[in-house]
Amino acid sequence: MTTPRLAVLGSINVDHIMNISQFPKPGETIIGHQYKIAFGGKGANQAVACGRSGADITFIACVGDDAIGNEIISQLKTDNIHIDAISIIPQTPTGVAMILVNEQGENVISIVAGANGALTPTHFQQYHHIIEHADALLMQLESPLETVFEAAKLAKSHQTKVILNPAPAQALSDDFLSFIDVITPNETEAEILTGVSVHDEAGAAKAADILHHKGIKQVLITLGSRGVWFSEQGKGMLIPGFRVDAIDTIAAGDTFNGAFVTAILEGKPSVEAIHFAHAAAAIAVTRHGAQSSVPWRHEIESFLAERA
């Protein structure tokens, strides 16, 4: 049997991470107690989560013409990712994210796109064949929106399942959303897309119904430590996550998305796939960093076995 093929289109960043006791107020200086540089970007984080979870994945992305860009490509290759569609953009720096993490494991992030901005529709044309022959396409919103839109339309026309993690949060047109099969917003993103406050299960259910009416078949609204509101064909349920002592939530959502899509491509039922993704995210939040926190498949399976 042929292994399902996954395409991920998204961003690559170098993360500058500082751990601090609390987030500073405007005009305030806070002394940090740890600083490190790590590889990140929502696209790359999700690609790594897919690769380490066992997916046959090709990553479409751009890095800068700098030493860190080449280092990132080399690292991604060791994460079981096909890297032929990662372009090096001349005279352009690799994307950068500045991340502050407080003592509760919460984070705030600021991003400069750098080479990610070069992933234009024109640049993307050379990789259309990857989408056309893939079984699923996973995307986020750190790449140029017009390219994400074009990729979604292309995938839909070739019966490639489209999964969108609509982050960073922004409004999206109904035309765009009509090409999406599965969407995975958090509470803030769901509210921006639907106008509904998602503070409880009732709000999540209402937001999911609105997204269904826009043409999206499956809605997964991530609710942090409470779990995920999963809705399909108008029927929703809360699927709780695993309780762990979180120290860093930087790539939790990205890890969830990558593991979920991998499990779906393997033919797991949606609820089982969400449990698999919950386990991957639970492991990730007990570790520091973005890609450095993403678990390998055997770690996820061991975690699930211990809690069976």
Q: Return d(Cα 147, Cα 149) in angstroms, integer.
A: 5
Task: State pTM to two decimals.
Answer: 0.93
Give, in degrees to the nearest 5, the angle at Cα 265 between 259 and 266: 90
Q: What is the pLDDT of residue 171?
A: 96
Percent of the chain whose predicted confidence (pLDDT) is above 90: 89
Q: Return d(Cα 63, Cα 117) in angstroms, integer.
A: 10
Could you list the residues known to form a binding site, using ranges.
13-15, 41-45, 142, 186, 222-227, 248, 250, 253-254, 278, 284, 287, 289, 293
Q: Return d(Cα 43, Cα 61) in angstroms, integer.
A: 8
Active site annotation includes 254: yes
Q: Where are the alpha helices (DSSP H) in 198-289?
A: 201-213, 252-265, 270-284
How confident is the model over 100-140, as pLDDT tens digits?
A: 989 888 888 898 999 999 999 999 999 999 999 999 999 99
Residue 168 — φ and ψ, nearest 5°? -65, 155
From the candidates 56, 66, 79, 254, which is the catalytic residue? 254
Of the pLDDT bands very low, low, confident and very high (cuts 50, 70, 90), residue 249 is confident
Could you list the residues known to form a binding site for ATP, using ranges.
186, 222-227, 253-254, 278
130, 58 contact by CB (below 8 A): yes
Of the pLDDT bands very low, low, confident and very high (cuts 50, 70, 90), residue 308 is confident
The average pLDDT across 225-245 equals: 94
Of the pLDDT bands very low, low, confident and very high (cuts 50, 70, 90), residue 187 is very high
Could you list the residues known to form a binding site for substrate, using ranges.
13-15, 41-45, 142, 254
Q: What is the pLDDT of residue 289?
A: 82
Could you list the residues known to form a binding site for K(+), using ranges.
248, 250, 284, 287, 289, 293
Of the pLDDT bands very low, low, confident and very high (cuts 50, 70, 90), residue 1 is low
20, 35 contact by CB (below 8 A): no
How confident is the model over 19-61, as pLDDT tens digits?
A: 999 999 999 999 999 999 989 999 999 999 999 999 999 999 9
Mean pLDDT of the chain: 95
Q: Return d(Cα 68, Cα 193) in angstroms, integer.
A: 35
Q: What is the pLDDT of residue 192?
A: 98
